[in-house]
Structure 1
Amino acid sequence: MNWLNELKVAFLNKNDNKINELLDNLPTLKTRDEMFEALAIFEEITNYAKEEKNKLTNEMRKLKQTKQFLPKQETSHRLNISF
């Protein structure tokens, strides 16, 4: 399978590790069609990354709000189980 097809499959499967691996090993694209196709895939991957970043930002905000809502413990009690 050629590099562009591997990138498409990785993107469709949302395989972030494979996408990163392929982008780290970007080959020299020889034809104009390959370049335009790669550009289109890069745009889709960029949009996907932005969406994932926004999801993560929202989750972090929710966690922060939950942490602020929960009562703070004044002292933490630890068990010392040493023999």
Structure 2
Amino acid sequence: MSATVSTPDEDEMCAYCSSRIFDHDPLCVRDCTDDCGSLKYFCNYACLAVFIEEHELTTGDACHWSPDEENCC
């Protein structure tokens, strides 16, 4: 397995708010559960968090936790 590192274009826009990512604290993510689709760029963690929540990307992906259980998984 290899990784390719590339720098996004200077005018790359945030996948959530459409701001220029380099005007903020940019990060990129890739969904590797579906053939590692194309990278999505976000201008900050807040936009990434809202994008994840609005698209319900964590639904069914976390273990069930209860305060009565000693260990989660």
TM-score by length of 2: 0.26
Higher strand share: 2
Higher helix share: 1
Larger Rg: 1
TM-score by length of 1: 0.24
